């Protein structure tokens, strides 16, 4: 009998978080707090931007923690060689070759929206569009790099001492892990592109691999899911009130100890609630489990074009415009994924999926 390493609650948390990323990007493109890369705000003060403050600190950290956990489970049923080959195809190919095959559209849209294309020589436009089309693919670029580093750690730590070191991690130790998260947030941050925060995302990945992946630890997190949920909502509300109006993507916010405390409480709350309430599957959840990665890869072109067209060419009440953008993005992103998935060459270059 084969070993089934699937954790339904992890699959469900992952695809739900991907949906949250799609919704986040709609709000982000219309942000009025000075975060670069948007297409313009509707007013100087936008209270709908509170959504951005509430979710931004934790949702990508959560995905890296889940990636670390999934890596632990994957390496139980794969050799290092199989794992490396699979990760390279699934992560590195879409974030490199995929830029030239598809993501140049994102770069082209940005250049059209923000202007400046006329000043670029024609022969340079395509490579610049491809290089500037990375968008959300920074996540899989970093995840591939972390996977390589983890394999090197495994070679050094052949007896898995780091894993066993945390076997008796109690609740207080779990809560105090926000301190090394805070420490890691101070280092290895890219100077201009603030999404490349190697320090905090790598330690989140390692926490997932060495600590949260342990059954005893996740069971302990599940036991405290209700108080952690209330704590996350209360702290998140205070956090949003405290930072509202500032650029939430700047160092003063990202390196603040309050940010690390809030994001870690939120991550523990979501993992605990997921283990308690989402450890099941259905036909829809099964589809989203398989499709969410591809939807994440292709969604940004849909989101960028949708938000630009709605804001530029339609005069709608702002709440209706947000709703129209969100619904359109949630509907068309899976459609685009399905189209690309059925084109043999693109399915490999864009999605990292082997041809049938």
User: pLDDT by residue (tens digit) across 12-52?
Assistant: 999 999 999 999 999 999 999 989 888 999 998 999 999 99
Interacting residues of 209 by C-beta distance below 8 A, sequence separation 6+:
68, 69, 71, 72, 150
Burial tier of 230 (Cβ tally within 10 Å: 0-12, 13-18, 19+)? exposed
d(CA 259, CA 239): 8
d(CA 220, CA 273): 12
C-alpha radius of gyration, the chain, whole number: 20
Region of poorest pLDDT, from 121-130, 175-184, 254-263, 319-328: 121-130
Residue 5's pLDDT is: 63
Residue 356's pLDDT is: 60
d(CA 324, CA 106): 20
User: pLDDT by residue (tens digit) across 287-304?
Assistant: 999 999 999 999 999 999
Q: What is the mean pLDDT of residues 153-171?
A: 90
The answer, yes or no, to whether residue 1 has pLDDT greater than 50, is no
What is the percent of the chain with per-residue pLDDT over 90, rounded to a whole number?
85
d(CA 187, CA 267): 21
pLDDT, mean over the chain = 94
CA distances from 325 to 12, 47, 71, 211, 317 (A): 24, 18, 34, 39, 12
* Position 2 confidence tier, pLDDT thresholds 50, 70, 90: very low
What is the percent of the chain with per-residue pLDDT over 70, rounded to a whole number?
98
Residue with tokens 């709609």: 26
The answer, yes or no, to whether residue 4 has pLDDT greater than 60, is no
Q: What is the mean pLDDT of residues 337-347?
A: 95
Torsion sign over Cα 262, 263, 266, 272: negative
* Position 273 confidence tier, pLDDT thresholds 50, 70, 90: very high
d(CA 101, CA 343): 12
Give the pTM: 0.96
């Amino acid at each position: 009998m084969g070993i089934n390493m699937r954790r339904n609650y992890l699959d469900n948390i992952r695809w739900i978080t991907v949906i949250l990323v799609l919704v986040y990007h709609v709000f982000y493109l219309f942000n009025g707090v000075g975060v670069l890369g948007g297409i313009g705000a509707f007013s100087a003060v936008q209270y709908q931007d509170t959504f951005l403050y509430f979710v931004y600190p934790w949702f990508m950290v959560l995905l890296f923690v889940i990636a670390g956990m999934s890596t632990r489970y994957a390496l139980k049923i794969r050799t290092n060689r199989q794992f490396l080959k699979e990760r390279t195809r699934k992560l590195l190919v879409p974030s490199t070759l995929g830029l030239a095959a598809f993501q140049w559209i994102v770069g082209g849209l940005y250049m059209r929206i923000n202007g400046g294309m006329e000043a670029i020589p024609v022969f340079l436009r395509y490579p610049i569009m491809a290089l500037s089309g990375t968008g959300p693919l920074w996540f899989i670029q970093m995840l591939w790099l972390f996977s390589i580093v983890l394999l090197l750690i495994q070679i050094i730590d052949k007896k898995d001492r780091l894993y066993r070191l945390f076997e008796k991690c109690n609740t207080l130790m779990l809560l105090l892990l926000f301190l090394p998260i805070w420490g890691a947030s101070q280092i290895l941050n890219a100077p201009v592109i603030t999404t490349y925060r190697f320090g905090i995302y790598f330690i989140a990945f390692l926490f997932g691999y060495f600590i949260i992946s342990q059954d005893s630890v996740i069971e302990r997190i599940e036991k405290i899911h209700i108080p952690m949920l209330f704590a996350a909502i209360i702290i998140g509300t205070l956090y949003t009130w405290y930072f509202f109006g500032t650029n939430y993507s700047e160092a003063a916010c990202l390196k603040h100890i309050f940010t690390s405390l809030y994001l870690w409480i939120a991550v523990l709350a979501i993992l605990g609630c997921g283990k308690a309430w989402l450890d099941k599957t259905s036909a829809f959840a099964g589809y989203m489990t398989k499709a969410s990665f591809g939807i994440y890869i292709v969604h940004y072109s849909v989101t960028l074009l949708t938000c630009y067209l709605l804001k530029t060419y339609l005069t709608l009440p702002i709440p209706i415009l947000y709703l129209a953008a969100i619904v359109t993005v949630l509907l068309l992103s899976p459609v685009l994924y399905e189209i690309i998935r059925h084109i043999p060459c693109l399915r490999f270059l864009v999605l990292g999926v082997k041809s049938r």
